[in-house]
Chain A
């Protein structure tokens, strides 16, 4: 019995595709080694729908040896190179088995570089090379029944080779850069220090970390400048209002004090009342970066978390495909039908009715385009099961943004009252929304301020109750957070919309960066210092961008995969040769940096009993760690205290407010970091 084998990207996508394509909506369900697959019938054609679980095949080194440079790569089953992916074997085995009786194939993975790449590898390595010529492509942007059935009836007769070749090139180039540069770092250290230490860098990772290092230098070498601001409290119509001095910043203390002196206790006269209106157009629909940005500022979700939640909403057929760069709705999207379905949701009924009552639908558009997918929008399907609180929040945000794009402009009025006090000018400012427009739909997420001011007229006198002088200092540039870093990567065109969030996560995993307000660690800074001193080209944004552009040209079939890979290797080779020549110096520099980091990790600060140095020490006998004073060896201090044996200990550089002993941070998996006084046995504050 022959059939068409349909390959889906994820188990839940396979289930949705099977239910949508089966004429009765009830495909037969089978299971083998924990992997479910489905049999469906449509137009008398038998369909077997089988899932993948992301990438089932990965790039690996062809041939053995732990050396560099290494440019020979091959694709192998992921479970062979990644122990944590052992479950992928069951998927490959099942697909291989089902492929034997299939007479045609359909790639029904997500329509993007990664999705096309996943299906291509499965067809080539699990189903056999001959399957590639028998394979068609099903393209969809949402997992709704209508969209899937339409996609099935309008299959592309061949695979999407542009995307596949671009995907293969990206994986192979990233692997070649990552493995060679990381091995170069580790080899130089090993040759000098005699032992391995895991270090890594990569094509996008290096430049991204170098952005953070540059910012850290600006912050750590920052010298503030003083300035003064003046405000006054005035009594107007029986109420107290705050006036701002016309000069936002005053640069000398003497000038600021003079103003205060001349205005205190005076009566002001209103010399002008003016108002102006500003029209705020509705925001454009969400692409992935604007969704990640909005979710970060509203809910504090990191870009990778937003991506994961959006992915779940997509797999539940609630929203369209989230990895999109588009801010324009193509005419093929039935906006009216989506709005009508959303009207059924009590929460959105009133807003939708308001939109429909205005007649013609003309959604706002942004500048970005993505021919593969429309902007992120609700499919109209309402949740079948209760969503988790984070899914609920993101879903509501996406729905409201979708509704907001149909709204009329919002109009804000700002009022400025000018008050002369002595020979100085102060202002009272008010702000109000005159027409809510699209903000009504987006209301919970609108961040505008309403500032009420009393009715006033020119010539009116106001009593100045007091004048306040505030000394302030300029602040260093803010630390990047995962959201602003992602935006910076996007602005510099490094990485892709699908990979940027993962690159940032990798930097956390490597312990190169820490905290939500991203701080580079000593380890991260050491790696950047060494790379910028000895092979700065690795950190170059230009090199990364050039490669990105070349890979985009494969997608548009202006360049071939081979050309781009050869070019990438030609660019990397002199870097690695240079690295090899300087291996000894690089190794020395890394060893010195790592030694200092280790010293810093173990050094806790001054012993309040004798002024000696407190250190984390590991007992040779019991192998347990404890804190001890180094003056123990000279016999002048015998302070010691036990320490937790589990978790990572980090000196905080602070002292306990109760006993003056240093404190450290205990980090354990799945627990909040705990600050501990090293004198915890005797410290009153610890009890």
Chain B
């Protein structure tokens, strides 16, 4: 049984907790973290914040970053 994406309410993808589009963005976020960590020596939290504020970040990636930040706050 599939759930709903916490961001847009679409059905979640088979291999994640987001819908297909947001899951794709989430995978990209995970993939690029090591790059940012090496470049700036920053934590995952700081990374998400920077990604959210960056004008080149795609809309779905921003939404996922925001969701992850909020989840960690709660």
- A476 touches B (CB below 8 Å): yes
Contacts of A227 in B (CB 8 A): 39
| B-side interface residues, number (CB < 8 Å) | 21
With A225-B32, A225-B35 in contact, is A220–B58 under 8 Å at CB? Answer: yes
State A223–B54 Cα separation when bound (angstroms).
9
State A217–B23 Cα separation when bound (angstroms).
11
Contacts of A475 in B (CB 8 A): 56
Contacts of B57 in A (CB 8 A): 222-224
What residue in chain A is nearest B51 (Cβ atoms)? A223
- A459 touches B (CB below 8 Å): no
Contacts of B28 in A (CB 8 A): 221-223
Question: What 1/0 flags go to B18-53 for Cβ under 8 Å of A?
Answer: 000100110011011001101111000000000100
Contacts of B35 in A (CB 8 A): 225-226, 251
State A222–B55 Cα separation when bound (angstroms).
11
B25 near A224: Cβ-Cβ < 8 Å: no
- B2 touches A (CB below 8 Å): no
State A177–B72 Cα separation when bound (angstroms).
50
A473 near B56: Cβ-Cβ < 8 Å: yes
State A252–B34 Cα separation when bound (angstroms).
12
B38 near A220: Cβ-Cβ < 8 Å: no
State A252–B36 Cα separation when bound (angstroms).
9
Contacts of A254 in B (CB 8 A): 41
CB A522 to nearest CB in B, in angstroms, measures 11
B39 near A251: Cβ-Cβ < 8 Å: yes
What residue in chain B is nearest A224 (Cβ atoms)? B56
Contacts of A252 in B (CB 8 A): 38-40
CB B74 to nearest CB in A, in angstroms, measures 20
A221 near B39: Cβ-Cβ < 8 Å: no
Most buried by B among A221, A224, A474: A221
| A-side interface residues, number (CB < 8 Å) | 19
Contacts of B51 in A (CB 8 A): 223-224
Contacts of A225 in B (CB 8 A): 32, 35-36, 39
Contacts of B31 in A (CB 8 A): 223
- A219 touches B (CB below 8 Å): yes
Within 8 A of B (CB), among A190-226: 217-226
- A340 touches B (CB below 8 Å): no
A476 near B56: Cβ-Cβ < 8 Å: yes
With A252-B39, A253-B39 in contact, is A222–B56 under 8 Å at CB? Answer: yes
CB B11 to nearest CB in A, in angstroms, measures 10
Question: What 1/0 flags go to A250-261 for Cβ under 8 Å of B?
Answer: 011110000000
CB B42 to nearest CB in A, in angstroms, measures 10
B38 near A222: Cβ-Cβ < 8 Å: no
Most buried by B among A218, A225, A226: A226
CB B4 to nearest CB in A, in angstroms, measures 12
What residue in chain A is nearest B47 (Cβ atoms)? A223
Contacts of A253 in B (CB 8 A): 39-40
Contacts of B25 in A (CB 8 A): 220-221, 223
With A225-B32, A473-B54 in contact, is A220–B59 under 8 Å at CB? Answer: yes
Contacts of B38 in A (CB 8 A): 251-252
With A217-B21, A221-B24, A221-B25 in contact, is A476–B40 under 8 Å at CB? Answer: no
State A279–B37 Cα separation when bound (angstroms).
45
Most buried by A among B21, B24, B32, B56: B56
Most buried by B among A217, A227, A475: A217
Cross-interface CB contact of B61 among A220, A251, A474, cutoff 8 Å: A220
What residue in chain A is nearest B59 (Cβ atoms)? A220
Question: What 1/0 flags go to B55-67 for Cβ under 8 Å of A?
Answer: 0111111000000
What residue in chain B is nearest A533 (Cβ atoms)? B20
CB B56 to nearest CB in A, in angstroms, measures 4
What residue in chain B is nearest A226 (Cβ atoms)? B39
CB A480 to nearest CB in B, in angstroms, measures 16
With A473-B54, A475-B56, A476-B58 in contact, is A220–B21 under 8 Å at CB? Answer: yes
Contacts of A217 in B (CB 8 A): 21, 24
The 9 closest A-B pairs by CB, nearest first: A222-B58, A221-B25, A224-B56, A220-B58, A223-B28, A220-B60, A223-B32, A221-B24, A220-B59
**What are 28 A-B interface contacts by the 8 Å CB criterion?**
A219-B58, A221-B25, A221-B28, A221-B58, A221-B60, A221-B61, A222-B56, A222-B57, A222-B58, A222-B61, A223-B25, A223-B28, A223-B29, A223-B31, A223-B32, A223-B61, A224-B32, A224-B57, A225-B32, A226-B35, A226-B39, A226-B40, A251-B39, A252-B40, A253-B39, A473-B54, A474-B56, A475-B56
Q: Add 20 more A-B contacts to A222-B58, A224-B51 (CB < 8 A).
A: A220-B58, A220-B59, A221-B28, A221-B60, A222-B56, A222-B57, A222-B61, A223-B29, A223-B31, A223-B58, A223-B61, A224-B32, A224-B57, A225-B32, A225-B35, A225-B39, A226-B35, A226-B39, A252-B39, A253-B40
